[in-house]
Amino acid sequence: MIDGKKVMLSGMQSTGMITLGNYLGALKNWVHFGDDEDIKCFYGIMDLHSITVRQDPKELRANAKRLMLLYIAAGLDPEKNCLFFQSHVPAHPQLAWILNCYTYMGEMNRMTQFKDKSAKHADNINTGLFTYPVLMAADILLYQADLVPVGKDQIQHLEITRDIATRFNSIYGDVFTIPEGYVGESGAKIMSLQDPTKKMSKSDENPNASIFLLDDKDTIMRKFKRAVTDSEGCIAYRDEQPGVKNLIDIYNAVTGKSVVETLKEFEGMGYGALKERVGETVAAELEPLQARYKELEGNKDYIERIMKDNAAQASYYAEKTLRKVKKKVGFIEMPR
């Protein structure tokens, strides 16, 4: 709790260009919570997480800045929500180190994302990649978050966060709030448009597999037109038709409609018309975001002020928790 308000925290890695999956699984839900006066929200641009995979420094900087603009363009008001860069708040890696000493190798070994990523980057299986969930736990626990809105793929990381926090609390008393995950009803796992058995990902080598948030309308329409479906020829919401199911999920996540409503609306429609309808809907959803993004691009001074103010605000709360943790563990306080 902060000032009697519940705390919400989430974030994205500043790697590549964020996708429609990131938007529908996370960002769109964050915007929804941003309007609630009873919740204090923190949203990080998780640049420390990004270097678990080798990054070009110039690109990393550009991606991180762009992500800040996209958060704001999507509707997160930086005067109400604390939008910060993880690398501006040193308490994150400091708490992560401490929590590393309360986390077991066996726990990290079980993480499916570690297994997937180390298979994908076999030439760079670094220890940062291995302990990545501990840094994520620190991100969350530093702000005493009650609620963490994420897509389905982050649930395992959230569970380990709860385990680490519970373990720490059982040794030292009530230090950390135990966070709950929040996964939206639709959009929690948006799949690749080219292989609907795989999740839509920023790092997919096939650019047609993902819709990127700054794709223009023609590109969006073209990618949906090429989306892989099946030869059944009927619009149904079932696992045997993952491509069609994914298009319905995307449509529902954007419009807020239920599966029943959508199936009724699409009754008798062919796949071509379905793809066109979904493409139009997504393009219309992203158009105002893209227009705001363009405006913000020219507003350097405003963005710099936001970066500075919000880093100070995030640090204030994070340092408070870190001081408490250090004291509990037994470190000597620095004389003031």
- Give me the residues that bind ligand TYM (CB under 6 A), please: 9-13, 21-22, 24-26, 46, 49, 136, 139-140, 148, 150-151, 153-154, 157, 187-190, 199-200
Q: Which is nearer to ligand TYM, 139 or 146 (CB)?
A: 139
Please state the closest distance from residue 22 (CB atom) to ligand TYM, in A: 4
Q: Is 199 a catalytic residue?
A: yes
Q: How many CA atoms lie within 13 A of 121 on its CB side?
A: 17
Give which of 42, 43, 47 is closest to 61, Cα–Cα.
47
Please state the closest distance from residue 17 (CB atom) to ligand TYM, in A: 11
Give which of 31, 44, 55 is closest to 91, Cα–Cα.
44
Please state the closest distance from residue 152 (CB atom) to ligand TYM, in A: 7
Q: How many other C-beta atoms are found inside a 10 Å radius of the C-beta of residue 233?
A: 9
Please state the closest distance from residue 44 (CB atom) to ligand TYM, in A: 6
Please state the closest distance from residue 189 (CB atom) to ligand TYM, in A: 5
Output the CA torsion sign for 182, 105, 121, 59. positive
Q: Which is nearer to ligand TYM, 180 or 232 (CB)?
A: 180
Q: Is 117 a catalytic residue?
A: yes
Q: Which is nearer to ligand TYM, 24 or 129 (CB)?
A: 24
Q: Which is nearer to ligand TYM, 46 or 289 (CB)?
A: 46
Selecting among 202, 217, 324, 328, the annotated active-site residue is 202
DSSP codes of every residue in 164-180? HHHHHHHHHSS-S---E
Q: How many CA atoms lie within 13 A of 319 on its CB side?
A: 10
Selecting among 117, 223, 245, 275, the annotated active-site residue is 117
List of residues 6+ apart from 155 with CB closer than 8 A = 181, 183
Q: Which is nearer to ligand TYM, 190 or 306 (CB)?
A: 190
Backbone φ and ψ for 9, nearest 5 degrees, come out as: -140, 140
Rounded to an integer, what is the distance from CA 284 to the centroid of its chain? 22
Could you give the CA distance from residue 123 to residue 58 in angstroms, rounded to a whole number? 22
Give which of 66, 76, 18, 19 is closest to 42, Cα–Cα.
76
Residues labelled catalytic: 117, 199, 202
